[in-house]
Amino acid sequence: MLQKKIVLLFIATLFIMNEYSFINAKELSEMEVKKIAKEAIKNVGGKLKHTLMQKVKNDGVASAADFCSSEAGKLAKEASKTLPEGVSVKRITNKPRNSINKATIENLKVLSTIELKMKEGKTPAMVVRKLSNNHYQVYKPLVIGKNCLNCHGDSSTRNKQAYQIIQKKYPNDKAIGYKKGELRGAFLVDIKR
Ligand code: HEC
């Protein structure tokens, strides 16, 4: 009798485990993926942008440049710790200032499709890539606004003092020469389930 109970319990456990792993491996809809990505970007990117703009406002562009060069990485890392398990956020670009943000060939393909859309006059939208049933990537385009020119513009639009500081920190800087409205790169959110 006891033996029979144990066998039944065993079968029930197997059944539940199977159900559970089935739920776990469930595919995400595009809407779910975008929602996770937006939340993650809000956490990490929002923190970066907020601090940067506050610095520019309170202490000027040069001091903000100094801050970006030394603290931005740390700040992004701190904010990343608050993301759900399996979710990570980084910035990628074809013209990196910090070489850790250099786009891969795969990234470059997506960036150029975004750029093409922009040339057709469309507003750049998020791109969702499904790598497998439990692995997704989301690209959120980053477009150059007026403020960005201070540190990413050409010699006529850059803030000279700020750029001196940046150039010292990043002698191989490629992230200049931009005009307002151009694609600067993207937030890349990686989601593994
Ligand atoms: C005060 C100067 C300053 C301003 C203003 C500024 N940036 Fe940057 N930006 C930097 C610095 C410095 C880095 C390198 C940070 C690092 O090492 O992680 C950087 C890095 C980046 C990167 C990561 C890719 C790379 O090249 O390493 C992106 C994307 C970016 N900036 C976009 C923008 C956008 C979009 C704006 C406007 C909303 C902006 N930046 C405004 C100074 C600035």
Asked if residue 184 has its Cβ within 6 Å of ligand 1, the reply is yes
C-beta of residue 186 within 8 angstroms of C-beta of residue 104 = no
CA of 13 to the centre of ligand 1 (A): 52
The two structure tokens encoding residue 57: 């406002």
Q: Which residue, judged by its Cα, is nearest atom 17 of ligand 1?
A: 98
| pTM for the model | 0.85
Give yes or no for residue 72 having a pLDDT over 90.
Answer: no
The domains of the chain are located at 28-192
| 115-150 pLDDT per residue, tens | 999 999 999 999 999 999 999 999 999 999 999 999
Burial class from Cβ neighbours inside 10 Å (0-12, 13-18, 19+) for residue 22 reads exposed
Q: Report which secondary-structure segment, H or E, holds 184.
A: strand 183-192
- Mean pLDDT, residues 85-104 taken together: 95
pLDDT score at 3: 75
**Chain-centroid distance, C-alpha 126:** 11
C-beta of residue 76 within 8 angstroms of C-beta of residue 101 = no
pLDDT score at 10: 65
Share the mean pLDDT of the chain.
Answer: 88
The two structure tokens encoding residue 109: 């393909």
CA of 119 to the centre of ligand 1 (A): 23
